[in-house]
Amino acid sequence: MKKLHIRLSLIITSIVLIIALGIYHNINKNSGNIDKRLYAQAIRLFEGFDNILEDADVIATGTVNNIVIHDEYDEYFVTILNTKKGDDMEQITVRNYLCEYTYMDDNKGRIGKSNLNYEIGKSYIFILQHIRNVYEDMYIIMSDAYIPLENAQNSTVLSKELRDIEDCEAYIDQYHFKNIQGKGIQLSIDYIESSQEKEIVAHSKYIAKVEVNELYRSTEIVDVYACSVVDILKGKINAAENQIIIPFFKDTVEIGEIYLVCLNSDRDDAIIYTLSSKNSVFEASKFESIKNMVEVN
Amino acid sequence: MNKTSKMRNYKQKLALVCLIILCSCMSLKTISKADSIYFDNWYSNAYYVMFWSQTPKVFITNLSGSINIAPYVNEAVNKWSNAGISSSVTTSLSNANIRYYGGTRSELISIGLYYITDYLGLTYWDSYSYMTTANSYYDIYRLNAVSTSVCSEAGSELYSNVALHEYSHALGWVGHSVYFENDVMYPYAVKGNTTLTTRDKNQLLQVYNAMN
Write out pLDDT tens, residues B148-158.
999 999 999 99
Task: Say what the pLDDT of residue A27 is.
Answer: 47
* Strand spans (E) along chain A: 40-44, 58-69, 73-85, 91-97, 99-105, 108-113, 123-132, 137-141, 147-148, 156-157, 160-161, 206-218, 222-234, 243-249, 258-264, 274-275, 281-283
pLDDT digits (tens, 9 = 90+) for A80-118: 999 999 999 999 999 999 999 999 888 888 999 999 999
pLDDT digits (tens, 9 = 90+) for A271-288: 999 999 999 999 999 888
B91 touching chain A per CB within 8 A: no
Q: What percent of chain A has pLDDT over 70?
A: 89
Q: B110 vs A274: CB contact, 8 Å cut-off? A: yes
Mean pLDDT highest for which of A18-32, A191-205, B173-187?
Answer: A191-205
List of residues 6+ apart from B192 with CB closer than 8 A: B157, B158, B160, B161, B162
Question: How distant, in Å, are the alpha carbons of A114, A225, B117 from that of A118?
Answer: 11, 36, 22
Distance of residue A148 Cα from the nearest chain B Cα, in angstroms: 22
The residues pairing with A138 across neighbouring beta strands, listed in sequence order, are: A131
Average pLDDT value over all residues in chain A: 90
pLDDT band at B37; cut points 50, 70, 90 = low
pLDDT band at A32; cut points 50, 70, 90 = very low
pLDDT band at A70; cut points 50, 70, 90 = very high
Task: Say what the pLDDT of residue A34 is.
Answer: 45
Residue B6 CB burial class (10 angstroms; 0-12, 13-18, ≥19):
exposed
Architecture of domain A43-187: Beta Barrel (2.40)
Q: A258-264 and A281-283 as β-strands: parallel, antiparallel, unpaired? A: antiparallel
Q: B64 vs A271: CB contact, 8 Å cut-off? A: yes
Architecture of domain B48-211: 3-Layer(aba) Sandwich (3.40)
Task: Say what the pLDDT of residue B1 is.
Answer: 54
Q: B24 vs A40: CB contact, 8 Å cut-off? A: no
Task: Say what the pLDDT of residue A11 is.
Answer: 67
What is the mean pLDDT of the segment spanning B73-90? Answer: 97
Q: Does the pLDDT of residue A65 top 50, yes or no?
A: yes
Q: Rounded to whole angstroms, how far apart are CA atoms B55 and B97?
A: 9
Distance of residue B188 Cα from the nearest chain A Cα, in angstroms: 6
CATH 2.40.50.120-classified regions of chain A:
197-296
A178 touching chain B per CB within 8 A: no
What is the mean pLDDT of the segment spanning A215-219? Answer: 95
B204 in Cβ contact with B46 (< 8 Å): no
Q: Rounded to whole angstroms, how far apart are CA atoms B159 and B192?
A: 9
B38 touching chain A per CB within 8 A: no
Q: Does the pLDDT of residue A163 top 90, yes or no?
A: no
pTM for this model (two decimals): 0.85
| CB within 8 Å of chain B, chain A residues 132-171 | 133, 135, 140, 142-143
Q: Rounded to whole angstroms, how far apart are CA atoms A255 and A253?
A: 7
One-letter amino acid of A90: E
Task: Say what the pLDDT of residue A29 is.
Answer: 45
A236 in Cβ contact with A264 (< 8 Å): no
Q: Does the pLDDT of residue B190 top 60, yes or no?
A: no
The residues pairing with A96 across neighbouring beta strands, listed in sequence order, are: A74
Which top CATH class is A197-296?
A: mainly beta
Q: A266 vs B188: CB contact, 8 Å cut-off? A: no
B25 touching chain A per CB within 8 A: no
Distance of residue A79 Cα from the nearest chain B Cα, in angstroms: 23
A239 touching chain B per CB within 8 A: no
Task: Say what the pLDDT of residue A131 is.
Answer: 97
Among candidates B20, B111, B141 on the partner chain, residue whose Cβ is nearest the Cβ of A247 = B111
| CB within 8 Å of chain B, chain A residues 7-46 | 8, 11-12, 15-16, 18-19, 22-23, 25-26, 29-30, 33, 36, 38, 40-46
Residues of A in contact with B105 (CB under 8 A): 186-187
List of residues 6+ apart from A27 with CB closer than 8 A: none
Q: B99 vs A217: CB contact, 8 Å cut-off? A: yes
Sequence length of chain A is 297
Cα nearest neighbour of B163 on chain A: A43
